[in-house]
Amino acid sequence: MFEIFSIISGLIIILITAIFLIYNSKKKQVVHDKSSALFKNLSKEELLKARLDFYSRSPVLNYKNEKGLEEESTSNSPAMNVRENINNRDLQTLNKEEKNVEKNDEKKQVVYTKSSSSLKNPLKEELSKTSSEFHSRSLVFSNENEESLKEKSSSYSPTNVEENGNNEPHQKLNKKERSVEKNDNNKQQNVDNNLKKLKEFSKKSQQSNEISLRDSAKKSNINEVILKSFSSYSELPLPTIQPIKSIEEMLAWIPGYDDFCRSIAPRKKFSRKGSYAKTLVCHDMKGGYIEDRFIQGFGSDKCYRFQDWNYIDSFCYFSHNLVTIPPPCWTNAAHIHGVKSLGTFITEWQDGARACASIFSDISSVKRFAKILVEIACYYNFDGWLINIENDIIPSQVENLKKFIQILTKHLHDRIPDSEVIWYDSVLSTGQLKWQNKLCSENKVFFDLCDGIFLNYNWSIYDLQHSLFTSGEARKLDVYVGVDVFGRGCFGGGGWNSCKAMQVIREKKLSAAIFAPGWVMENHGEEEFTKNNKKFWELLAAYLYPHFLSELPFVTSFCQGYGAKVFVQGKMLQNKPWTNLSAQSFQPTFSNNLYQLGPKEGMQVDCIELQTEEAYNGGGCLCIKGLAKPCEEQTRTVLRLFKTDIKLMESTNYSVEFTYKCSSDRVQLFLLVLLEDNPSYIVFNPSKAEIQNCSVSSTYAITNLQDSQYVFQEPLNNQTLTTNAEGIWLTRSYSFVAQKSCCLQEIRVILATGGIVDVDEKLPFKVLLGEIKVCLSNELHRSVSSAKNLQCHNLSSIRYESKQKLCFTLSWNISLSENEIFPKCFDIFCSGNITESNATLDDINFGCFIGRSYNNSYCVNELIVPLVCGAGIIITVQGVSELNTRQNYDECAQVLIKWP
C-alpha cells in the first residue's frame, strides 16, 4: 500500500511540475510574441542592428519572480514601473492583450514615442536611423511639461519615478481592453488608459545601470539623467586614437564610431610671397601614439610639442602601422597655422608584401582601398597621405600600384582642396625594393602620378643635382630631400648638424623633408627640452621660409598647447599640468627680434619667453623682462612679433584688442601694426590719462619719419580690468576704419619708459602679454553657437566609503544658426552638489571646470560627488569661439545628473 501511495504521489508531483513548466513556457512565449508584434515593421537585419545598438547602451533586465520584483521596488529605479507592470499582469490578461494587438490595425498598435532627450548613438552613423526607429518604439519618458506631470500625479519625484506610471509613453486602451484589464488585474488601478509596453530583455547587460531622461521642469533645454544604483564598474577609459594595423581592419573601417578622434578645425589661409622651396616635417617618435594618442590631453607638461609651424608647409604623422591616422591634436595645431596634416600608409617586410599582393590583386581591389584612404582622410579632417611601400611588389601588379596612386591622388583632390599625396623613394618601376636617394627614371613614374616624392636620406650632392635635372623646372619644388635628424647615413650626420644638410638642399633650390625632429627630446631628455628644441630650430631657421597668415580673424594668446595650469580670461580654472596641442594658439613669426629708439641706456630687455605659470587664456603667455633705467629722454623698445599678409578693405570697420599685465607703472605698452601703404603705421596707445611723466608728443615720436605716416588710436571707453591673485590684466579695445584697401603686414609691440627722472636706481619690470585680437568689428557681437541635443550616456558610478566617482560620456551636435560663430572648442563645467574634484572653483560663476573638448563629445571618468544626491549636479557645455568669446552661460546646453 505504501509503495502504491508513493507512486501516486510521484505522478502527482510530475504532473504539477509539467503544468508549471507549460504555464511558464506560455507566459514567456506571450512576452516574446508581444515584443515581436511591437517590432514587426522592422526587417530582421534592422531589428538585429537595433537590438545590438540598444543593448550596447541600455540596461537589460531579467524576468524575476514576484518576490524578486517586490524586493527591487524599494530602489529608486525609473524602470521599476516596467518590471512591476509585467509582474502584475496575469497570464490571461497578457494573452487577451496579445490577441487584441494582433487583430487591430496600425491605429490600435502600440505607438512608441522617443524622448527628445534620448541617448545619442555613440556607434556608427549608418546605424543611426535604425537606432532612432528602435528607440521610437522603446520605453522612455515622454516630453511632458511640468503641469501635465502634476495633473497626472501629485507624488511625482525624479528620484522615485517608478511610483508614477503615467510618466511613460503609452497608447490608450479602447474601452474593451480597459474593461478586461480592470476585471483581470485589480493591481492596475493607477493605469486607467495606459498599456505598459514590453521590452526585449537580455542577461548580457545585467550589471548595466538604468538611465532615464526627461525634460527638466525648470529649464527646457536641460535633460535629466538618473543613475539607477551604485555599481562596481571600473572607470571609463579615456578616449584615444589608434592606427589601423591590418587590411582586415582597413576593410572593416566605417566612419561614425569614434567621433572623439575627429578634428573639426578648418585649415586657415596662409600665404608666402614668391616661389620658395617647401618644408615637410615627418614626426616619428618612439613608434608614435604615445601621450598624443589621448584625445582630451595628457596630464603632464613634459610631453613632446612643436610650435615652429610658420616654418613648415606640411606635417606628416608617422608610425610603422599599416594606416597611421594623425591624432586630432596634431591636425588641429597644424590647421591653426595653415599647415597640411598628412597620415601615412606603409607596408613593410613579409607582412607588407602579403598586404600589397592582396590590395593590388585587381583593379576593383585597388579602387576599394584607395576609396577607404580617401574616406579616412575626409572623416578625420586631415589633408593627405605619405605612401611608403617598403617591400617588393609582384611585377605583374606594378600597373595596379600605379593605378592605386593615380586614383588616390585624383579622388583626394576632388574631396579635399589643396590635399596632397607624397610618394616615398623605395620601390622601382620593376617592383623591386631599392632606395635611389634621388629622383630618377626608375622612380619618376610614381612621382608623375602624385604631388611629390620624399627622397631617402643617403643622398649625395650629385644625387641632388640629378634630382633637379630629372624633375624639371616646373616640379623641382615637389622633390622633398630627406634629412634624418638621427643621422643614419644622412649628409652632415643629423642632430645639431642637420642644418648642414639643409644648407646644401636649399642651395639646389629643392624642398626638404625633416624626419624625426623628436630626436631633441629622445636624446636630450624632457627637462631641458624647451631650450634644446629652440636651439635646434634656430639652427635651421636660415634655411626655412616662413609663411604668413592671410585672413582674419587674427587671434593669439601665445599658448603652445601645454601649461602648469589652465586659465580662462585671467582666471585659473585648473591647477595641474597638462598638454593638448589642440589648445595651441597662433605662434609668433619672429623670435627675440627687437630694436630700440631713443637712449639705449633707458631700457634693457633681458628675456622674451613663454611663461606657463600664468596666462590670460590657455596655458601660457608672452613674458618680457628687463630693467628701466633713469633717463630724461624716453626710450622705446620695439618687439617684432607677427608677419602677416592680411587684406584690409576700404571703409570697413575693424576692431583691435590686446590684454597685458605690467609689474611697473613706469612702463607703458603700445600695439603697432605696419601697413603696406601710407599711413605706414597705426599706433594703438594708452589713453592720455594713463601716460605718466611724459608728454603725449614724445610718447608718439616712434621714429623720425613724418607724422603723416602715423595714425594714433585712443582706446574705447569699454576697457576691461581682470583681477586675480597675481595682479590685474588690462584689456584695451580699439576701433578703426581702413581709409583704403591695403595689406596689414606686421604686428609689433612697443615698450616705452616715459622718462624716469625721479629715481636713481634701475627699475626691474615684467610685462605679460596675454592676448592680441584683430577682427572685423561685427564679429565681436556675434553669439557663439551652442551645443545642440546634449546627451549623457554610459553613466556609471564607483562607490567608496564616504563618496562616489561618477563616470559618463557627453555628446552633442554642432550646427550654426543665423549670425552665429562656429565654436573652436567647448568648455565643460559642473555645478550643484559637489564636495571635491580635481578642478578648482572660481569666482566667475562657471562652476567647477571639468575639461575642454575640441570636437562634439567628452568623456568624464573621475568626477567625485557625495553619496547623498540632494538636488544633483548640472553639467554645462559652453561654446568658445576662435575670438575666445564665450556663449552666455545661461544659454548653454545643460544636463542634470541624479543618483540614488
Please say whether the dihedral angle defined by the alpha carbons of residues 114, 118, 123 and 124, taken in this order, is positive or negative: positive
User: In the prediction, which pLDDT does 118 show?
Assistant: 35
Cα separation of 752 and 628, whole Å? Answer: 9
Q: Indicate whether 244 pLDDT > 80.
A: yes
Whether the bond into 553 is cis, omega within 30 of 0: yes
Spatial CB neighbours of 375, under 8 Å, sequence gap ≥ 6: 255
| pLDDT tens-digit readout, 206-230 | 333 333 333 333 444 577 888 765 5
**Separation CA 881–CA 566 (nearest Å):** 17
Residue of 301, 302, 294, 157 lying closest to 237 (CA atoms) = 294
To the nearest whole number, what is the mean pLDDT of the chain?
77
CA–CA separation, 876 and 828 (whole Å): 6
Specify whether the CB–CB gap between 162 and 190 falls below 8 A: no
Question: What percent of the chain is predicted at pLDDT more than 70?
Answer: 69
CA–CA distance, 724 with 55 (Å, rounded to integer): 49
Give residue-wise pLDDT tens across range 694-750.
433 334 444 344 455 778 887 876 666 666 656 789 999 999 998 888 999 999 999
∠ CA 148-149-155, nearest 5°, is 140
DSSP 87-110: HHS-HHHHHHHHHHHHHS-TTTS-
pLDDT at 544 over 70: yes
Please answer whether residues 119 and 895 qualify as being in contact, where contact means their C-beta atoms are separated by less than 8 angstroms: no
What confidence score (pLDDT) does residue 108 get?
Answer: 34
Q: CA 215 to CA 198: how far, in whole Å?
A: 23
In tens, the pLDDT along 306-322 reads 999 999 999 999 999 99
- Please give the pLDDT value at position 873: 92
Q: What is the pLDDT of residue 235?
A: 67
List, for residues 318-357, the tens digit of each pLDDT value: 999 999 999 999 999 999 999 999 999 999 999 999 999 9
Nearest to 537 by CA among 878, 307, 761, 716: 307
Using CA atoms, how far apart are residues 645 and 269, in angstroms rounded to an integer? Answer: 10
Per-residue pLDDT of 609-618, as tens digits, reads: 999 999 999 9
More confident: 184 or 58: 184
Phi first, then psi, for residue 676 (nearest 5°) are -80, -10
The closest alpha carbon to 314, from 335, 278, 339, belongs to 339
Collapsed DSSP state (helix, strand, coil) of residue 818: coil
What is the model's pLDDT at position 77? 31
Is the model's pLDDT at 839 over the cut of 50? no
Return d(Cα 536, Cα 516) in angstroms, integer: 12
Cell triple for 681: 603705421
Q: 433: pLDDT confidence band, cut at 50, 70 and 90? A: very high
pLDDT of residue 485: 98
Angle subtended at Cα 208 by Cα 202 and Cα 212, rounded to the nearest 5 degrees: 100
Q: How confident is the model at residue 93 (pLDDT cuts 50, 70, 90)?
A: very low
Instruction: Give buried/exposed letters for 17-47 (b at 16+ CB in 10 A, else e).
Output: eeeeeeeeeebeebbeebbeebbeebeeebb
Characterize 230-263 residue by residue with b for buried, 16 or more Cβ atoms within 10 angstroms of its Cβ, and e for exposed: bbebeebebbebebbeebeebeebeeeebbbbbb
Per-residue model confidence (pLDDT) at position 1: 55
Asked whether the predicted pLDDT for residue 589 surpasses 70, the reply is yes
Average pLDDT over residues 141-153: 33
Indicate yes or no: pTM above 0.95. Answer: no
**Bond into 679 cis (ω within 30):** yes
Q: Tell me how far apart the alpha carbons of residues 222 and 216 are, in angstroms, rounded to a whole number.
A: 5
- Asked if residue 574 lies in contact with residue 565, where contact means CB atoms within 8 angstroms, the answer is yes
Query: What are the tens digits of pLDDT across the range 768-809?
Result: 999 999 999 999 889 999 899 999 988 988 887 778 888 999
For residues 125-130, average pLDDT: 38
At 457 the three-state DSSP class reads coil
The amino acid at 797? S
| Residue written as grid cell 508531483 | 13
801 CB contacts (<8 Å, ≥6 apart)?
A: none
Higher per-residue confidence, 365 vs 832? 365
Task: Give the separation between CA 254 and CA 124, rounded to whole angstroms.
Answer: 7
Residues 770, 624: contact at Cβ < 8 Å?
A: no
Q: What are the two backbone dihedrals, phi and then psi, of residue 32, each rounded to the nearest 5 degrees?
A: -65, -45
Backbone angles phi, psi at 801, to 5 degrees: -65, -45
By residue count, the chain amounts to 900
Q: How far is CA 749 from CA 234, 384, 637, 718, in A?
A: 52, 38, 8, 21
Residue 140: predicted pLDDT? 29
Grid cell for residue 429: 618601376
Strands (E), 742-843: 742-752, 763-776, 783-784, 787-799, 803-814, 820-821, 823-832
Q: Are 767 and 544 in contact (CB under 8 A)?
A: no
Mean pLDDT score, 760-772? 88
pLDDT, average across residues 868-874: 86
Assess whether pLDDT exceeds 60 at residue 267: yes
pLDDT at residue 272 greater than cutoff 90: no
Which pLDDT score is estimated for 3? 59
